[in-house]
Amino acid sequence: MLEAFALAILGAGGGPAYPGIAGHEPDAAAAARESAAIERATGELRKVAPQGGAYVAESNYFQRGWQRAFWGANAARLRGVKSAVDPRGLFSTHHGPGSEA
């Protein structure tokens, strides 16, 4: 954050979706289009900032290279701490330290 030169927020959204309820069904085609558009925009940003990071709490669920993007140089140290404190892996979070296992 202290070295960041910009903040880019990419996203899409919609109202509640309920399978089987008329007028509220999920629109998979629209979701796929929106996801593809976000991926294209992300690709353009990566051209100018290939090593750019990401804010884990509001990031792409499918973030590539998430260890570096979220945790940077601290990733290996955090995996070590997680392993020492929680060797059985009781506590985990998507894209959190040690979640590779």
Domain layout of the chain by residue ranges: 1-52
**41-98 pLDDT, tens per residue?**
999 998 998 888 777 777 788 888 899 988 999 999 999 999 999 999 999 888 999 9
CA dihedral sign, ordered 54, 55, 58, 64: positive
**1-48 pLDDT, tens per residue?**
677 778 888 888 888 888 889 888 999 999 999 999 999 999 999 899
- Hey, what are 35's tokens? 């996801």
φ/ψ of 45, rounded to 5, equals -65, -40
pLDDT confidence of residue 1: 63
* pLDDT bracket for residue 100 (50, 70, 90): confident
pLDDT confidence of residue 29: 93
φ/ψ of 19, rounded to 5, equals -55, 135
Residues in contact with 79: Cβ distance below 8 Å, sequence separation at least 6, in sequence order: 97, 98, 100
